[in-house]
Amino acid sequence: MAKMLAMPSQLARREFYASVRKGLKALPSYRRNEDEMGVKVMGGRSDRTLLYITSPMKIAYVSLTDPTDEHSWSGLMKTMRNCLHSLGHEVEDIFGMKRSPLVWVAFRTFYHRYIEKNHYDWRRDPVILRNFARQVEARLAGAGFDMIFSPGTSAVALLETDIPIVIWTDATFENLVGFYPENSNHCAATVREGHQVEKRILGFCKYAIYPSEWAARSAIDFYGADPAKVKIIPFGASVESTRDLDSIRQSIAARSRQNCQLLFVGVNWHRKGGEKALEVARLLNEAGIPTELHVVGAGPDGETPEFVKRHGYISKRTPEGRAKLDALFASSHFLIVPSLAECFGLVFADASAHGVPSLATHVGGIPAVVRDGINGRVFDLDEDAATYRDHVLRLFGDWPQYEALAESSFREYSDRLNWDTVGRIFAGVLAGVQTEAKADSPLSECSS
């Protein structure tokens, strides 16, 4: 059994409690959800596991792809891995499992693509997932892991192990079916099997963490997950801001009060609502406010109006790319990404890190990251571009109100949507895993 660290001094304990409370002050909606949903939000006063400092754990990070890849899931997998490291835990990556039997995958893919004209997803196939599980179990055997962590369900869905499993992902399978275009034509077998394996891991894991109430409700209401094991912890921004409020105020003051700069960031122009963003920019120009729409990532097909400025794909891997993105955010009045489907939307947290309000849609997990009047506005899906235009015009007509919203956006990042705060709350889950493991030990009653 891992040796517990000595209990800290009274001063150290007060500092630790204060750091926890700081992270939780930004989560009033999530504490409310605990009462409404029965979802346990780590860090509440009733959760005493947060009040203990435990020794570092050896954690197996199990994923389908390389968790150190900065482009995988917008770099979120790597950020989660770094978060575990920053909390003092030893992390060993387990990924790259072989899809086997390949003949089975090839047959089902061919049959459903060309005969049934629908989509087979091997990531939900119990035959493949059992094979993954056996490969992972072989690497877990005798390695002394204290916990298994996964940024999804497929890689760990059919594991047979006594090691506690914690998953942290943005959606359940039920959330995804018919939500994204690529999930709208699944074959019946994929849907059936996908639900079966999702239900299995939600019943088997120690904790299931989601960034939004939307996803947490699905785990509980659709799959029957125990509310005590479902946690809501939002993701932090994918950028690390070194700015303070004074520098953000200078950035906001430098923005034009006559010309409007809109920023669109996304790899899928249609799903991210690019057409509506373009229409909003056109209507603002017609209303007499010279407006430019800066497009990062995927853009519209064919010719575009002069007010559309294309920047193509900008990589965060290079200092040049990060500097260019930083400059685009800093000079923009609004991030506009009116998505048709979105499980969370890290780009909205990135906008808040720059003091930029977001214009988004009330769909999926977006309301967990964009809060009306705090760091932007979420519009109903059926609201037209004129509604967006009128909202921007109101803020341009009341510049102190815009400044206050932009400052509030940065505070939302510094209080809630950053990985220091997220890490403090996540630490509570990890402390819970280790405390429960200690309590379950036959030696726990005689240990000091």
CATH of the domain at 213: 3.40.50.2000
Q: Give 67's contacts (C-beta < 8 A, 6+ positions apart).
A: 61, 77, 78, 80, 81, 93, 95, 151
* 372 within some domain: yes
**Does position 103 have pLDDT exceeding 50, yes or no?**
yes
What domain range is 432 assigned to? 10-236+418-446
* 1 within some domain: no
* 401 within some domain: yes
* 2 within some domain: no
* 251 within some domain: yes
119 shares a domain with 139 = yes
67 shares a domain with 24 = yes
| Cβ atoms < 10 Å from Cβ of 376 | 28
209 shares a domain with 67 = yes
**Does position 23 have pLDDT exceeding 80, yes or no?**
no
Residue for token pair 């943005």: 170
As a whole number, mean pLDDT of residues 245-268 equals: 95
* 199 within some domain: yes
As a whole number, mean pLDDT of residues 429-436 equals: 82
167 shares a domain with 193 = yes
pLDDT given for residue 117 in this prediction: 87
Q: Which of the four pLDDT bands, split at 50, 70 and 90, describes residue 413?
A: very high
87 shares a domain with 183 = yes
Q: How many domains does the chain have?
A: 2
pLDDT given for residue 440 in this prediction: 56
* 3 within some domain: no
Q: Which two tokens stand for residue 175?
A: 């959330």
Number of Cα atoms under 13 Å in the Cβ half of residue 243: 21
160 shares a domain with 47 = yes
422 shares a domain with 384 = no
111-167: per-residue pLDDT in tens?
Answer: 888 888 888 888 899 999 999 999 999 999 999 999 999 999 999 999 999 999 999
- Calculate what percentage of the chain has a pLDDT beyond 90: 68
197 shares a domain with 255 = no
Q: Which of the four pLDDT bands, split at 50, 70 and 90, describes residue 438?
A: low
* 336 within some domain: yes
231 shares a domain with 287 = no
178 shares a domain with 80 = yes
Short-list 148, 143, 137, 152, CA closest to 97: 137
Q: Which of the four pLDDT bands, split at 50, 70 and 90, describes residue 225?
A: very high
pLDDT given for residue 9 in this prediction: 41
Q: What is the pTM of this model?
A: 0.84
220 shares a domain with 100 = yes
57-88: per-residue pLDDT in tens?
Answer: 999 999 999 999 877 787 899 999 999 999 99
369 shares a domain with 315 = yes
